[in-house]
């Protein structure tokens, strides 16, 4: 089975940093710990209100990732808001388009690609991001029927929004929810896309998700990982994720 890669999302390190003046905890410092512990990449979601990751963090983290050949930088955001400026400035390995409104507490839905007007607005931005050298991933709900359209628009990957899995894990609904994700992964791959996944994944729910979906290229994890790092430390937490990814890939 494909060995899924881990991209550590640093949003919540930045959130704690913003609680005081100064730059501590420094997202770059913790990004380096994550990379040194084996993470394949770093992710940030620089929201327009800078509630956590600030515009100034974006190039600083780009410089850090450049010091680790082979690791990747993934910048998430709404391409109709501030994301494209960040892509033009630092040309990350991957751009993840997320349809968040500026006042959303967190990401809570994927793109609705049945909306032709939305697709017409997205297409030129996908083209521009790819022309900048970024792999483009669209944040999507696990709806198999939407995957072919993502490919048609020029996306390289989709990122499946996994909050529904996190809620269902350890409940009687788990198997049914996993089946919807597995069908979405299958449909995406059949359409010629690769598949990422993220949102509310954790040390406790990750393995079952990956075993059921089988071919996920990358998971990006931040909220739970940061909470787990409060208990185990950042390096040990990343090592625990990497051990899960190794174990699942051996099955
Ligand atoms: C797209 C997604 O699900 C997350 O990557 C997002 O970055 C979470 O944003 P917050 O960290 O602001 O909750
Ligand atoms: N794209 C998902 C991500 O980067 C992190 O989401 P979360 O683990 O903070 O929920």
pLDDT at 3: 97
Provide the pLDDT confidence category of residue 135 given band limits of 50, 70 and 90.
Answer: very high
Task: Report yes or no: 158 and 195 within 8 Å, Cβ to Cβ.
Answer: yes
| Enclosing domain of residue 239 | 5-250
Q: In this structure, what CATH number is given to the domain that contains residue 63? A: 3.20.20.70
Instruction: Answer yes or no: is the C-beta of 41 below 6 A from any ligand 2 atom.
Output: no
Annotated binding-site residues for 3-amino-2-oxopropyl phosphate read 9, 20, 200, 222-223
3-20 pLDDT per residue, tens: 999 999 999 999 999 999
SS3 track for 193-215: CEEEEECCCCCCCHHHHHHHHCC
**Residue 45: other Cβ atoms inside 10 A:** 24
Q: What is the mean pLDDT of residues 204-217?
A: 97
pLDDT at 1: 82
Nearest residue to 107 via CA among 55, 183, 27, 52: 52
pLDDT of 69 > 90? The answer is yes
Share of the chain above pLDDT 90, in %: 99
* Residue 76 bears catalytic tag: yes
196, β-bridge pairs: 159, 218
Tokens of residue 69, six digits: 């050949």
Instruction: Answer yes or no: is the C-beta of 11 below 6 A from any ligand 1 atom.
Output: yes
pTM over 0.90, yes/no: yes
ipTM: 0.98
DSSP annotation of 175: H
Domain count across the chain: 1
pLDDT at 251: 85
146-163 pLDDT per residue, tens: 999 999 999 999 999 999
Tokens of residue 176, six digits: 């049914």
* Residue 45 bears catalytic tag: yes
Q: Specify burial of residue 43 (Cβ count, 10 A radius: 0-12, 13-18, 19+).
A: buried
């Amino acid at each position: 089975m494909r060995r899924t890669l881990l991209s550590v999302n640093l949003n919540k390190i930045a959130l704690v940093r913003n609680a005081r003046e100064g730059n501590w905890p420094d997202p770059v410092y913790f990004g380096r710990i994550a990379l040194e512990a084996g993470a394949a990449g770093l992710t940030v979601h620089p929201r327009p209100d800078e509630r956590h990751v600030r515009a100034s963090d974006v190039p600083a983290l780009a410089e850090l990732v450049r010091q680790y050949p082979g690791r990747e930088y993934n910048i998430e955001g709404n391409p109709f808001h501030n994301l494209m400026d960040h892509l033009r400035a630092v040309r990350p390995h991957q751009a993840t388009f997320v349809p968040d409104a500026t006042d959303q507490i967190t990401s809570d839905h994927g793109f609705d690609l049945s909306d032709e007007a939305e697709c017409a607005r997205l297409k030129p931005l996908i083209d521009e991001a790819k022309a900048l050298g970024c792999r483009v991933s669209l944040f999507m709900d696990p709806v198999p029927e939407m995957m072919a359209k993502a490919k048609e628009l020029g996306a390289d990957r989709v990122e499946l929004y996994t909050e529904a899995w996190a809620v269902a894990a350890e409940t009687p609904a788990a198997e049914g929810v996993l089946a919807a994700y597995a069908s979405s992964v299958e449909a995406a791959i059949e359409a010629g896309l690769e598949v990422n996944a993220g949102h509310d994944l954790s040390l406790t729910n990750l393995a079952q998700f990956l075993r059921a979906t089988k071919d996920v290229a990358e998971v990006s994890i931040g909220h739970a990982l940061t909470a787990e790092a409060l208990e185990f430390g950042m390096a040990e937490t990343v090592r625990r994720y990497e051990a899960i990814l190794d174990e699942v890939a051996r099955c």
